[in-house]
Amino acid sequence: MENPNVLTVAWTGICCTRPPMTYISVRPERYSYKMIEESGEFVINLTTSAMVKYTDLCGVRSGRNVDKFKLCGFHTVPAQKISVPLIEECPVSLECRVTEAKHLGSHTMFLAEIVGIDVDEKYIDSKGKLNLQQCGLTAYAHGEYFSLGRKTGDFGYSVRKKRKKPKNSA
């Protein structure tokens, strides 16, 4: 395989729980497109607010012309289940194996099974729960980057019954 490359992707998401599935949509003219097509693998590295300048740089520079790992000072770490490396500086990485490539027009959607999840241990609490809100993650939408991290609710909280306060028995 060629040298690894960093590809920024705006269109991605989780699309199935069992088996865990995700997708990315990539233009065929992108440098990484052929790498994904040939290897059938990719990693979704979740980036942080501290990395946003380098994340943006990876989106505006092509791997055809520059080694983005070297340019940004990123380090590769071997994945557990696929041949594509992870970015060491990212707190969470999803190892993905392509199951289908669907040509949609300007982009091809690579549907993939998530075969491994790599998490920096400092974000795992004593009960084994991932504290995602502490990772300092960044999201991209409509040409802008946003910091994530403030929890605003739990699944089902909108319909949960409120606990009744015990009556004072005096």
CA atoms of 112 and 36, how far apart (whole Å): 11
Q: In which band, very low, low, confident or very high, does the pLDDT at 165 lie, cut at 50, 70 and 90?
A: confident
The answer to whether residue 15 scores a pLDDT higher than 90 is yes
pTM > 0.85: yes or no? yes
Domain ranges for the chain, please list them: 12-147
Q: How far apart are CA 91 and CA 77, in angstroms?
A: 12
Please compute the mean of the pLDDT values over residues 129-134 and round it to a whole number: 89
Buried b (16+ CB within 10 A) or exposed e, 98-115: beeeeeeeebbbbbbebb
Q: Containing H/E element for 34?
A: helix 31-39
Reported as a single tens digit per residue, the pLDDT across 72-112 is 999 999 999 999 999 999 999 999 999 999 999 999 999 99
**31 Cβ neighbours under 8 A, 6+ residues apart:** 5, 7, 62, 63, 64
What CA dihedral angle connects 16, 17, 18 and 23, to 10 degrees? 40
CATH architecture of 12-147: Roll (2.30)
